[in-house]
Amino acid sequence: MNSVCYVAKIEWHCNDNALYLAMLPIQEQQYAQRYAHPQRLRSFIASRLLLRRCLSLYHQQSLDWRFLYHDKRLQLDSTQTHLHTSISHSHDWVACVLSEQAHCGIDIEHTVMPYNFMAIAKRFFAKSESEYLQRLQSTQAFVVFLDFWTRKEACVKAWHKGLAHHLAQLSFDVHQLNPVTTPECYQHLPLQVFCFRQVDWQLAVAIHSHTPLSMPPLVVFERVLGSVDTP
């Protein structure tokens, strides 16, 4: 398997963050101190716990998986695995992708309509995308908005850039999954994009490839931790 996507529902409330934070290595517990907001801390803890669970599942062995940071981007320790990763979280959901391709990105978004999504589209989307949304009824416009947004964010992550970079230069339409236009500086890194949707969330994953790829498997867990890991 070249790439696998994983999604899990975060099973604890923010009040229990300390209990789950204690399951992380000391270095990550110290790193987590920068997250003052309980919801952001909860998402941080969940993403690291899920990633360790998925690495053990993929490799069929449990290790003390080590995570590194380069330019604020999480990386896996190459002495432990040949895989690369991207993580995402939204409300009660957390997701990650494990891929043999270094340029991979994932985004998950909770399917709750924000009142200002059209203003967000007008600011960050390509003109053709924004104009298309304006022709749709509000409910359908939000479905398309979420589809475009997750695909955009997955691509930007795959290029190892922050969310504010190149969103308007990266455009999609409803008739094909891969980008219609891409920034000139990343045309040497074409991406294959795949989408998954359930009632509570929308997910997109982008993987660098010059040739067509098969849709990666998606594994959905009812909770972040396996039964043997529960604190």
Reference 206, options 167, 168, 161, 153; nearest CA is 153
Residue 228 has pLDDT above 60, yes or no: no
What pLDDT sits at residue 67? Answer: 96
Does residue 88 contact residue 106 with C-beta atoms inside 8 Å?
Answer: yes
pLDDT at 231: 65
C-beta of residue 179 within 8 angstroms of C-beta of residue 172: yes
Query: Which DSSP state fits 162?
Result: -
- Across the beta sheet with 3-9, what order do the strands follow? 84-90, 93-99, 3-9, 218-221
pLDDT at position 115 is: 82
Cβ atoms of 187 and 220 closer than 8 Å: no
pLDDT at 165: 63
Rounded CA-CA distance 177/206 in Å is 10
pLDDT tens digits, 80-112: 999 999 999 999 999 999 999 999 999 999 999
* Cβ–Cβ under 8 Å, residues 105 and 86: yes
Q: In the prediction, which pLDDT does 12 show?
A: 97
Q: What is the pLDDT of residues 124-164, one digit of tens each?
A: 899 999 999 999 999 999 999 999 999 999 999 999 976 66
Q: What is the pLDDT of residue 1?
A: 64
- 36-68 confidence digits (pLDDT tens): 999 999 999 999 999 999 999 999 999 999 999
Given this model, what pLDDT does residue 226 score?
Answer: 85
Question: What percent of the chain lies above the pLDDT cut of 70?
Answer: 95
pLDDT band at 227 (very low <50, low <70, confident <90, very high): low
Structural domains of the chain, with CATH: 3-226 (3.90.470.20)
The 8 Å CB, 24+ separation contacts for 166-174 are 167/124, 167/125, 168/124, 168/125, 168/126, 169/126, 170/126, 171/125, 171/126, 171/128, 171/129, 172/129, 172/147, 172/148, 173/128, 173/129, 173/132, 174/132, 174/144, 174/147
- Amino acid at residue number 22: A
The residue-averaged pLDDT of 115-121 equals 91
**Residues 9, 46: Cα–Cα separation, whole Å:** 9
Q: Is the pLDDT of residue 219 over 90?
A: yes
The rounded distance, in Å, linking the Cα atoms of 142 and 188 is: 31
Amino acid 167: pLDDT: 74
- In contact, 224 and 49? CB cutoff 8 Å: yes
Selection from 159, 202, 201, 164 nearest residue 179 by Cα: 159
Look up residue 215 and give its two tokens: 């849709």
Write the DSSP symbol of residue 160: T
